[in-house]
Amino acid sequence: MPGPSPLPTPETAPYWEGAAAGELRVQQCTSCTEHYFYPRPFCPRCGSDDVAWKATSGRATLVSYVINHRPLPPSDGPLVIALVQLEEGPRMMSNVVGVEPTPEQLPLGMPLRVIFEERGEYAIPVFTPAEAAR
């Protein structure tokens, strides 16, 4: 499938390895317990380098979004580009899929659940309405 692919670095490889295994991972600081994203080898809150990768629950809520209508490969129709907040706290950009891309179907605050889309050799974490994933 065309479209931009990530190019992992040594510091982000565990995130992409997790995604390939069907797991959305973020880092957690062992000192201050903060979960954080994007990947860094130290805690952005307290500065500790005692940090560990953790699997998240995959549950999130919808914080904001646009419904893109311009050509944007690999998407060939309206694409929901969304800001989501993970149950553990961090926010991330993603897509919302498996739902009609209209404002009526996408109220802010709606519960979401992670699923993974294949793109080339990578699995990309995206989100779908929580009930639809069950």
- CB of residue 115 vs other proteins: minimum separation in angstroms? 14
In the chain, the amino acid numbered 23 is E
- CB of residue 93 vs other proteins: minimum separation in angstroms? 4
CB 51 within 8 A of CB 42: yes
Q: Which spans in 25-91 are helix H? A: none
Residue 14 contacts other proteins per CB under 8 A: no
Among 1, 2, 41, 70, binds other proteins (CB under 8 A): 70
CA 121 vs CA 1, 2, 129: distances in Å:
10, 12, 25
CB 39 within 8 A of CB 11: yes
Residue 105 contacts other proteins per CB under 8 A: no
Of the candidates 97, 98, 69, the one whose C-alpha atom is nearest the C-alpha of residue 82 is 97
Nearer to other proteins, 67 or 130 (CB): 67
3-state secondary structure of 15: helix
- CB of residue 5 vs other proteins: minimum separation in angstroms? 7
Count of residues that bind other proteins according to CB under 8 A: 35
**Residues at the interface with other proteins (CB under 8 A):** 3-9, 12, 37-38, 63-70, 72, 75, 78-79, 81-83, 91-95, 103, 108, 119, 124, 126
